């Protein structure tokens, strides 16, 4: 028996990186797994990568009509579900003096608005005793030059977990946050991180290396499963000590 046997899990942004690794691990632990991919290109890639044992849905969390379509699909095919890993997000760095309204809006629309309504629209479909895991980041508590917008979106995610824990009965839904440190995923290349920058980050960390998507998946599994039954409203820093000293 796996830790998620007979559970239905939805992972937004499950087509690559941490989301993809978590989808695979949740499946290994017995869950039926639904994953979202933002574009048709990533949707087709995820279908090919994950195969027939996963339910892949094309949905951009920043678009409310996509979320409505996603949850209609969940309701029609599963009735209700047990685990939401609100993981979809984008990341880029830009100096404040160069930040455009479009850059700002793109990040807040996906990372904040998209996550917020991913959760809000899920609540009527979550079984009693469900778990919700929100992906934040170590940058929610650390200041990095040229990273003001992305960092602010991740601080908002931490705030959501606190307020939802105060608002929604814990025996109904248990909210927690996963805050990764630097992790080797495709999003780093999209951010324009060179090998020199990656090595520099690793050198700053007590563990002296970046994390892996598989390590983040194990942390997400802990928060999503009954192993963390006494963990509520918490922020788990899976960051190699980066934000802790």
pLDDT of residue 85: 98
Q: Which residues are known to be catalytic?
A: 150
Owner of token pair 């909210």: 175
Distance of CA 4 to the CA centre of its chain: 18
CATH, range 8-236: 3.40.50.720
pLDDT(233) > 90: yes
Alpha helices in the chain (DSSP H): 17-28, 40-50, 64-78, 101-107, 115-122, 148-167, 186-190, 195-204, 213-224
48 confidence band (pLDDT: 50, 70, 90): confident
The string of DSSP letters for 6-68 reads T-EEEEETTTSHHHHHHHHHHHHTT-EEEEEESSHHHHHHHHHHHGGGSEEEE--TT-HHHHH
Q: Read off the pLDDT of residues 49-86 as tens digits, 9 standing for 90 and up.
A: 888 889 999 999 999 999 999 999 999 999 999 999 99
The pTM assigned to this predicted structure is: 0.94
Q: Exposure of 173 by Cβ count < 10 A (0-12 exposed, 13-18 middle, 19+ buried)?
A: buried
Please count the other Cβ atoms lying within 10 Å of the Cβ belonging to residue 76: 8
pLDDT of residue 192: 65
189 confidence band (pLDDT: 50, 70, 90): low
The arithmetic mean of pLDDT across residues 112-137, rounded, is: 98
pLDDT of residue 50: 84
The arithmetic mean of pLDDT across residues 82-99, rounded, is: 96
């Amino acid at each position: 028996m796996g830790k998620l046997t007979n559970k239905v899990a939805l992972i937004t942004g499950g087509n690559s990186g941490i989301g993809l690794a978590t989808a695979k691990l949740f499946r290994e632990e017995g869950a039926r797994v639904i994953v979202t991919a933002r574009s048709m290109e990533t949707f087709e890639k995820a279908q090919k990568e994950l195969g027939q044992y996963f339910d892949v849905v094309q949905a951009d969390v920043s678009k409310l009509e996509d979320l409505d379509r996603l949850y209609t699909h969940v309701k029609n095919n599963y009735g209700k579900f047990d685990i939401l890993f609100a993981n979809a997000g984008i990341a880029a760095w830009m100096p404040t003096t160069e930040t455009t309204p479009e850059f700002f809006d793109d990040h807040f629309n996906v990372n904040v608005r998209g996550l917020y309504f991913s959760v809000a629209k899920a609540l009527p479909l979550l079984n009693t005793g469900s778990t919700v895991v929100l992906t934040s980041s170590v940058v929610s508590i650390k200041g990095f030059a040229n990273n003001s917008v992305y960092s602010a979106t991740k601080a908002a995610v931490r705030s959501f977990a606190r307020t939802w824990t105060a608002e929604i009965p814990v025996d109904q839904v248990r909210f927690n946050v996963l805050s990764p440190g630097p992790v080797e995923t495709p999003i780093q290349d999209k951010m324009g991180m060179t090998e020199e920058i990656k090595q520099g980050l690793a050198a700053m960390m007590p563990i002296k290396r970046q994390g892996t998507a598989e390590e983040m998946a194990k942390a997400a599994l802990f928060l999503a499963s009954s192993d963390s039954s006494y963990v509520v409203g918490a922020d788990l820093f899976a960051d190699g000590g980066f934000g802790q000293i």
